[in-house]
Every structure is written in C-alpha cells, then in structure tokens.
Amino acid sequence: MGGSAHPTPMPPYEHRKAKALHKYRHGWTHFTAHRDGEAHGHRRRRSRRTRLSPQRTPSDTVRHARHLLRSRRPLELATQIAMGIGLGIAVAFVVLAIWAVVTVIQARNDLRGAQSEATALAVDRTQLFTAHGRAHAAAQIAAMQHGTTSAAALVDGSVPLHALSWIPFVGQQVTGVKQLVGDFKTTSEQAGTLLASLQQLLRFSHGTSVSLPALNVLDHQVHRAVVILRPLDRGSGVLVGPLAGARSSFDKEIAKVTALLAAGGNLLDYAGPFLGGDGPRTYFVAGENDAEMRDQGAVLSWAILSAENGTFTMAKSHSVGTLRIRHPAQVPLPMGTLAAFGAMEPRQVWQSVNASADFPLSSEVMAAMYTRRTHRHVDGVIGVDPEVLRHVLEATGGVFVSGVPAQVKANNVEYVLMHGLYLLYPRGYQQSRRHDEVAEVASAAVSRMKHHHFDLAYLVDQLAKAVRGRHLLVWSRFPKLEAAVTRFGASGSLTALGPDEVHLAVESAVAAKLDWYVHTKVAYNVSVDPNGTATILATIVVSNSAKRGCWPHYVCGPDHLNSNVRGQYVGRIDLWLPRGAVVPGGLAESGLELARWVVRLDPGRSETVVLAGVLKHAVSDGHMDLVFVPQSGVNPQQATVTFSAPGWSVAGPSQASWSSTRDQALHWLLSH
C-alpha cells in the first residue's frame, strides 16, 4: 500500500575475485547478469597454453574443444568478436585521425606563412616596378617556396593521410588537402620562374633598346604559367569547413593571377613584333590635344617612331599643318559615321580625324592621309595625349626645354602643354612656336629615356595606366597584331569587349581651346521591366568653369562662327549606347547606337541634358552586363549608375559611382 510504484533495482553483481573488465568478456548474457544483480559462478579454466596430458589423447583434446564451443552461445561469441574488431578499428581510426589532424595543422601553419607572403605580393604588385621592390618580391617568393615545400613534404609523407584516403568522403577531404598544398607549391614555383625571367629582361635592356631574346623567354614563361595555373581553379566541390574556405580563397586569387598573366601575355605577343623583331617597323605618332576635344583630343602634331631589332627611335614632331592634303583620303566610312561626322571632313582635316569613337577606323584614315601627303607608308598608328607624357615623365624624371621657364615634370606637364604654353604664346601667329615647344617636351622625354637610367618595368606599368584611360591607343595594319592589341585593351574599339558598351564624349564645336575648363557629370538610370527590356536614361551635366573676360583670345574665342561671347563653350554631346538600342534620332556608329545633343555654355554656366535609349532583350540567360568606357579628357567624367528591376530578383550593385579613368564593368544576375 505505502510501497514504491516501481520495484527497487537490484545492485550489480560482483564476484569476490574477478579480472579487469570481467563482466564484458563473456558475452551479452553474462553482462546483463552482472548488470541485473544475478548471482552466478564460473568454472575454473585451464591455462591458455594447451598441453597434452599423458592421460588425454589428441582426439580427446579435439572433442573437448568442440564441447567448449558448443557450450558457448554462437551469438555471444560472434558479438564478442565483432566488438573486438570494432573497438580495434575505432581505436585505429581515432589514432590515425588525431595524427592526420596534427599533420594538417603543421602543414597549415607552413601554408599560412606562404599565403601571407603571396597575399602581400598580390596586393602590392607595384613593387615589381622598382629594383628594390623586385628584391623584396624575390624574398617573398623564397619564403613562399620554403613554406609550400615544407607543407608538401609533411602531407606527401603522412602515413595517416594515406591510410584515411581510402575512406569515402574522408578520402575526398584528404585529397583536397593534398591538392591545395600542391597548388600552393606550383604557384610559388611559377612566381619564382617569372620573376627570374623578368629580372633577366631588365638586366639586358637599356634606355630605348629592349633585349628581344630575353623578351621572348619572358613571353614563353608567361604563357606557360597561364597553362599551368589556370587548371588550379578547381572549386571547393565536396570539401567542407575551413578546407572549403581555404580552397575558395585560393581559387579566387588564382583566377585574378591568371587573368593578369593572360593580359600580360597578349602584350608580350605584340611587343616583339612592335619593336621590330620581325623586321623594321614604322609608326605614325598622333599627338592629341585634350584642350580641344574630339572623341580623343584633336590631332595637332605628329612624329614618326621607328623600331628595329628591339631598338626604337622617334624623330622630331611637327604640326599637322605640314601634312595638309587637298583631297580626302580614300578610306570608306560607314553610313552612320558619315551622317554623324561627315560635315567635319574627318578624311581630310586632321583636327577632325578622330571625331568618331572608333580609333581603328580613325587610324586607318590617318595612315592613308599621311601616305597621300608623303607617299610613304606606316605599319601602325599610336595616339598619345599629354597624359601619356605625364606617365612617361613619372618613370624617367623631369626634363628641361629651352622655351619653358621651369622644369617639365609629371605633376605639371598637362598644365604646361594644355594651358601654360597658351598663356606664354597667346596670339595666333605664335602657335608655331608653341607647337615647337610641345615637340621639344616630347623629344626631351624620349632622349631622357635613351640616355638616363630608368626602370623599364615601371615605364610599362605607367603606359598600361595610360591605356586604361584611352590616353594611349594603338592600331596595327597587320590583323594578327591588331588582334593582340585588342586583347590587351589598347585598340580603342568600343566593341572590343562586346556590344554592351556605354561611352559618353563631349566634343568641342568651337575654334578655341576651352576643354581645359569643361567638366562633365553623368547619372545613368538603368531600369529593367518584367519582360527583360532595359531603359537607359543618362542625365548629363556639362559645366564651363571659364571666367568672364577669359584670356587669351586664341584659347577663349569667340570664333564668330559657333561662338560669339569670349569664353563661351559650344560642344556636341555624343552618347554611344549598346548595339541594338532604340534611340530617338539615333545613328548606328562605331558598332553601337549614337544619341546626340548640342550645348552652348557661357562662362561659369552649366547645362543639363537627358538622353535615353531602350534595349530589348537586355536580360540574356539570367544576366545583364554594361561596360562604361571613359573619354580621354583632361578632366575625368564623374559617373553614377542606379539600377532597378521591378518584378525581378537581382544580385548586383543597385548603385555605383566612380571617376571615369578606366573601363567600368557592371554585372547583374536576374531571376523571376
């Protein structure tokens, strides 16, 4: 009545004398007997070492063993065997796993040091452009190689990792560790090889002469590195945890490295033939003035650059007035180009030759105009503006020119060429002297390259920056070389990256040099409707910062043709939108669709213009891309993009802003 509802469990039964782990040694039934407190006994066993008694025959022993086996329950016997095997496997697995973890931790510590050096090298690639920086990079690469070699030795010689590799899923993780270590080791080896090749090239190149054999070796090594490194972007796959994170991080960096090497390989493919490796080469150098903009600066001066066997020279530049022709060059222009720019006579007037944004077309016209005037042919055209000289002087140091009262350096060359010389020579009849001074600055820079020590790698880096802003553009009459130019981004073609470019240019329509004072801001509003049709709305603000009473007349006008007020700026706004866009009053030009407007700005005033286009089927395979290409003006455009897509799920920037000094590619993923 008053007792417990549940019977009190019996205490476990223990023998008076028992060996260690006795209760577990005789099967499940025996274990439960101990657990449930059931008293029981055991018959004394004979010694484990079987001995034949004089009174027992071998047959008696066999019968006795069979009796013992029959007396034990088969299930209990099998359970004991299975438990023993399982316990042994578990203990072995734990030991191997601990051993493997210790090995991986040791290898990870080695890799962390190597990764730290690799990250520092990748983040600060500019150190490759100075001798001191390359020495530091060599030390970093040596540290990378030491760390990766140590990690690889640990992993490759690891007994537990080899043993665990046979276990499904675990083996995949082990393989992932080995691959990651091996990939780090391969990357460090390639970095060392490339740096050694670069050092060799720089050691045997001096001034305006480049060692073509060393250049060819570097070219080969770069392409080989791309082939070796590109497959290392493996993806994390079934990897989990920190290993998956490390794999993803490595893949992201190796993708960047291979992209950079591929671009460098394209440049090297072009460099040898450009420098006369396949025979003498002659190039027309078009000097473009950003104080008087077309799509690039107006072509006002020219020079001839010659190259043979890796050595280049440039003759003194002249005014394009020395190349006047009476009849247009016989180069066919597309209908859209004729409609947009034909009135400016781009096949006869040098100042208008690059009004179109298609530099390959403009270059073909320039080469034909030069041939018509001189009866000589050129192998290509190089377009340069004062920004290029700034980058050259950044590498070579400043120069002195007799007619300029101060040293011309990287931080003042644009002011000197595009504004200061106009103040020094303010009258129209003095412009030939100004042209001479511009020519002297360019010649002095080339002479300094020839006679003074400078770092060739640093110069190449500076010129690459000029290419990105469309300040340095190149055209070759050889299709194979032109394809290489296009691949490394110096062709000036708006469709080099595909049909989805957007390019805004503000071009001078007045006979003055007022672009020094002109500033442009543009806000792009891109909206995509549920059917995938995109509307691109560009709100463009053009400002004229010239003062009233602006001086001198040669710079500020008026020209009494398009302007009637001193300092008044008249400009054409040309907006190229992606191919296939529907643009009110638009034209097909430079492979894209051109929208146009004209602004007339008094000094200190600004004007806002809105241009738009509609692009059907803008969403392709769930994504939309736009590439915004800059104009090569002295004052970079300030740009913003706002993106919206009602009815879509969007992954990508809803807003972006930049100072337009290089191509800006935006990418959106869209799904319903």
Confidence band for 218, pLDDT divided at 50, 70 and 90: very high
Give the torsion through C-alpha atoms of 25, 30, 36, 42, to 10 deg: -100
pLDDT in tens, 79-119: 666 666 666 555 555 554 554 455 555 555 655 665 666 66
Contact between 543 and 637 under an 8 Å Cβ cutoff? The reply is no
- Whole-number pLDDT of residue 48: 46
Q: What angle do CA 448, 451, 453 make, to 5 degrees?
A: 85
- Whole-number pLDDT of residue 318: 87
Higher-pLDDT residue of 248 and 612 is: 612
Separation of alpha carbons 321 and 344, rounded Å: 17
Residue 412 pLDDT > 50, yes or no?
Answer: yes
- Whole-number pLDDT of residue 50: 45
**What's the farthest any 2 CA atoms get from each other in the chain?**
140
Highest mean pLDDT among 117-121, 155-159, 416-420, 431-435: 416-420
- Whole-number pLDDT of residue 181: 79
Residues in contact with 27: Cβ distance below 8 Å, sequence separation at least 6, in sequence order: 72, 73, 75, 76, 77, 79, 80
Contact between 598 and 638 under an 8 Å Cβ cutoff? The reply is no
Confidence band for 239, pLDDT divided at 50, 70 and 90: low
Contact between 185 and 149 under an 8 Å Cβ cutoff? The reply is yes
Kindly list the distances between the CA atom of residue 145 and the CA atoms of 139, 252, 481, in Å, as whole numbers in the listed order: 10, 20, 37
Strand-pair partners of 665:
627
Q: What is the sign, positive or negative, of the torsion defined by CA atoms of 262, 268, 273, 274?
A: positive
How many residues make up the chain in this entry? 672
Q: Which two tokens stand for residue 512?
A: 């003055």
CA-nearest of 612, 627, 352, 359 to 507 is 352
Contact between 650 and 669 under an 8 Å Cβ cutoff? The reply is yes
Confidence band for 312, pLDDT divided at 50, 70 and 90: very high
Separation of alpha carbons 258 and 229, rounded Å: 7
Contact between 598 and 509 under an 8 Å Cβ cutoff? The reply is yes
Strand-pair partners of 312:
307
Residue with tokens 């990418």: 667
- Whole-number pLDDT of residue 11: 81
Kindly list the distances between the CA atom of residue 284 and the CA atoms of 344, 475, 631, 655, in Å, as whole numbers in the listed order: 22, 10, 22, 42
Across residues 419-423, what is the average pLDDT?
Answer: 92
- Whole-number pLDDT of residue 90: 55
- Whole-number pLDDT of residue 242: 66
Q: What is the sign, positive or negative, of the torsion defined by CA atoms of 150, 153, 158, 164?
A: positive
- Whole-number pLDDT of residue 414: 94
Q: What is the sign, positive or negative, of the torsion defined by CA atoms of 474, 641, 462, 190?
A: negative
pLDDT in tens, 518-547: 999 999 999 999 999 999 999 999 999 999
How buried is 655 (Cβ within 10 angstroms: 0-12 exposed, 13-18 middle, 19+ buried)?
exposed
- Whole-number pLDDT of residue 440: 87
- Whole-number pLDDT of residue 78: 62
Contact between 181 and 155 under an 8 Å Cβ cutoff? The reply is yes
What rounded mean pLDDT belongs to the chain? 86
pLDDT in tens, 340-367: 999 999 999 999 999 999 999 999 999 9
Residue 657 pLDDT > 90, yes or no?
Answer: yes
Strand-pair partners of 650:
670
Across residues 600-619, what is the average pLDDT?
Answer: 97
Separation of alpha carbons 476 and 14, rounded Å: 98
Which domains does the chain show, CATH number per domain? 84-274 (no CATH), 281-487 (3.40.630), 501-671 (no CATH)
DSSP β-ladder status, 380-384 and 281-293: parallel
pLDDT in tens, 20-65: 667 766 776 777 778 778 887 776 655 544 444 455 565 665 565 5
Separation of alpha carbons 421 and 416, rounded Å: 6
